[in-house]
Amino acid sequence: MAFSEQQYLEISERLHQVKEEIGKFIVGQEEAIDYTLYSILADGHALLEGLPGLGKTMLIRTVSEVLDLSFSRIQFTPDLMPTDITGTNIIERTENGKQQFVFQPGPIFSQMVLADEINRATPKTQSALLEAMGEKTVTILGDTKKMAKPFFVLATQNPIEMEGTYPLPEAQMDRFLCKILVPYPSKKELLEIMKRTTGAVDVRLEKRMDQESLIVAQQMVKEVLVAEEIMEYAVNIVVGTHPQESFLPEIQQYVLYGSGPRGLQSMIKLAKARAVMQGRFHVSIADIKSVAKPALRHRMMLNYEGEASGKTADELIETILTTIQQGVGL
């Protein structure tokens, strides 16, 4: 192994400093902060879903500031065009009077890109992100350009029941390493939010990591060990989401289709990142159980009966985890 146990403990300490710094500005939302950091450590993209005004945008902006990453925000609207995201070639006059095409890069060319209210744009515009998210490149008029390194898309969306939203295409949903649900703050958290946002004191955030340290941390995450039985446990969970193969009658009854291989990859990557945050260089069963819902909830499509009966992907994943824990084969 390229990294020592001491190095894992040191990076864990730095990551906790990052989380503590974010917590100076963001009230509560501990799970959202954790999974956003796990996604970044695992070199993946995250989708945050919650009602307007819950601090999704501010969380992402704060994370970029504490990690010292270049940041750009794309506000998705129904009239947003793909070139508004990727950039385009424009004609410029040179010093000798000739005209030439010059590439004007769009906001996608940052290290951390906030795709704000991503599901308010049309599917054509949403798909402009697909290549950047999957391949870390953008092709414009046959010319392929590489993204910044590191590169993350952190998207926010309102629940699809709200006015003026378009469901994300399944192919794009699958590109997100995890889907993070942002809940309402508690009464205590609301009081703290009021104190921090309506008072005269400005919170100044310190940079706790830089891009070089983050790239090293990402490499450390890749080298975390995963035992054979842990991999098998993760595979059983993913197989359990498939209505054709699942042992569970609930899955057969309510699920149209389950998670593909990317769901399994996402679970392992997020579990590795969670292990590193806790100063370990091996994945545990607890890591897999903790990340199963964020990694799989957006990769399960419920059928009409499931939707009509009010079932959620989280409930069904919990049933799978409980069943495996009880030793029932899937």
| pLDDT mean over 106-131 | 82
Q: How would residue 164 be classed by pLDDT, with cut points 50, 70 and 90? A: low
Confidence of residue 201 (pLDDT cuts 50, 70, 90): low
Residue 222's pLDDT band, with cuts at 50, 70 and 90, is very high
Q: Which of 255, 260, 277, 53 shows the shortest CA–CA distance to 174?
A: 260
pLDDT interval class at 283 (50, 70, 90)? very high
**pLDDT at residue 68 tops 50:** yes
The partner residues of 87 in beta bridges, in order of sequence, read: 105
The answer on pLDDT for 328 being more than 50 is no
The average pLDDT across 145-151 equals 84
**pLDDT at 326 > cutoff 60:** no
pLDDT at 144 over 70: yes
* pLDDT bracket for residue 291 (50, 70, 90): very high
Q: Which of 148-152, 212-216, 229-233 has the highest mean pLDDT?
A: 229-233
Q: Is residue 172 pLDDT above 90, yes or no?
A: no
Residue 329 reports pLDDT greater than 60:
no
Please give the pLDDT value at position 230: 92
Kindly state the average pLDDT of the residues 258-266: 90
Which pLDDT belongs to residue 196? 74
Q: State pTM to two decimals.
A: 0.86
Q: Which of 152-161, 196-205, 252-261 has the lowest mean pLDDT?
A: 196-205
The amino acid occupying position 283 is V
Cis peptide before 82 (omega within 30 of 0): no
Question: What is the band of 330 on the pLDDT scale with cuts at 50, 70, 90?
Answer: very low
Query: Burial of 217 by CB count in 10 Å (0-12 exposed, 13-18 middle, 19+ buried)?
Result: buried
pLDDT > 90 fraction of the chain, expressed in percent and rounded: 18
**Domains of the chain, start order:** 1-221 (3.40.50.300), 224-330 (1.10.8.80)
Q: Answer with the residue of higher pLDDT: 223 or 58.
A: 223
Contacts of 147 (CB under 8 A, 6+ apart): 108, 109, 132, 136, 137, 138
Give the span between the Cα atoms of 177 and 128, in whole angstroms. Answer: 18
Supply φ then ψ for residue 26, to 5 degrees: -90, 125
Tell me the mean pLDDT in the region 226-244: 91
